[in-house]
Amino acid sequence: MNTDMKDNVVVITGASKGIGAELARQLAAKGAMLALAARDREALERVAAECVALGARVEVVVTDVAKEEDCRRLMERTVAAFGRIDTLVNNAGATMWARFEDIEDMSILARIMQVNYMGAVHCTHCALPHLKASRGRLVGIASLTALVGVPTRSGYAASKHAMRGFFDSLRIELAGSGVTVTMVYPGFVSTGIRENATGPDGRPIAVSPVKEGEVMGVEECARLTLEAIAARRRELVMTLRGRLGQFLKVVAPGLVDRIARRAIETGR
């Protein structure tokens, strides 16, 4: 199995910060060719400059994955720039931090589903013919909330559960096509994304409720993710707590609920 990502044409959504940006930098160092997508052009350009400094060819495409036409343009621009698509990393995401009963504007949940789930669906649909032609890699960056319910994250967990179901089903459909599907389930990662999480009033919470210095660093998360992508692994459950939770959910589901509640209460 070829695990060398050199000259691999990789599309990364949500590439302006966090896991997406760090994946871009690590892939650039390995000689990949990158199409970087996010809504923030200025932040994207900064990441792109870092990747170019590492020797990569980079195409920047301002993209809102909630818009199907943006996803289509992203893939068209990638093919125009590089001639093909070898890997699609569906990483763009929106999150929340609010008890369901406290949410004042239910459109918050619709937006999260549109970005996290339908964004991955749109990008995958537009990229799939190119991935089949290259016998490429299809990647979904989910969360441990795709595996268990988590308080204050109801809409986010729902979107990641949907993402998991979609890609697990698609993997079966693609059997024999040469396209592999890798699902990645990180736990808390120090990315800065939680400062932009939506609170019950629909505005960013501004201050992260997670002890950022006590959770996995973004560099390690990206390194583990890249290893799984390169090896075409079926899935990566990134933490021991996550792997233990999968087992306990079968034999002691109530205990998993208590663990999830404590993780949110302690912020780690």
Catalytic residues: 156
The SS3 of residue 33 is strand
For residue 199 the two structure tokens come to 């609170």
How far apart CA 153 and CA 149 sit, in angstroms, is 8
The SS3 of residue 194 is helix
How far apart CA 54 and CA 221 sit, in angstroms, is 20
72 φ/ψ angles, rounded to the nearest 5 degrees: -65, -45
For residue 82, how many C-alpha atoms fall within 13 Å in the half-sphere facing its CB? Answer: 25
How far apart CA 102 and CA 200 sit, in angstroms, is 6
Residue pair 81/36 in contact by the 8 Å Cβ criterion? no
Q: Backbone dihedral region of 267: left (phi > 0), alpha (psi from -120 to 50 degrees) or beta? A: left
How far apart CA 139 and CA 171 sit, in angstroms, is 11
Residue pair 148/247 in contact by the 8 Å Cβ criterion? no
How far apart CA 204 and CA 95 sit, in angstroms, is 10
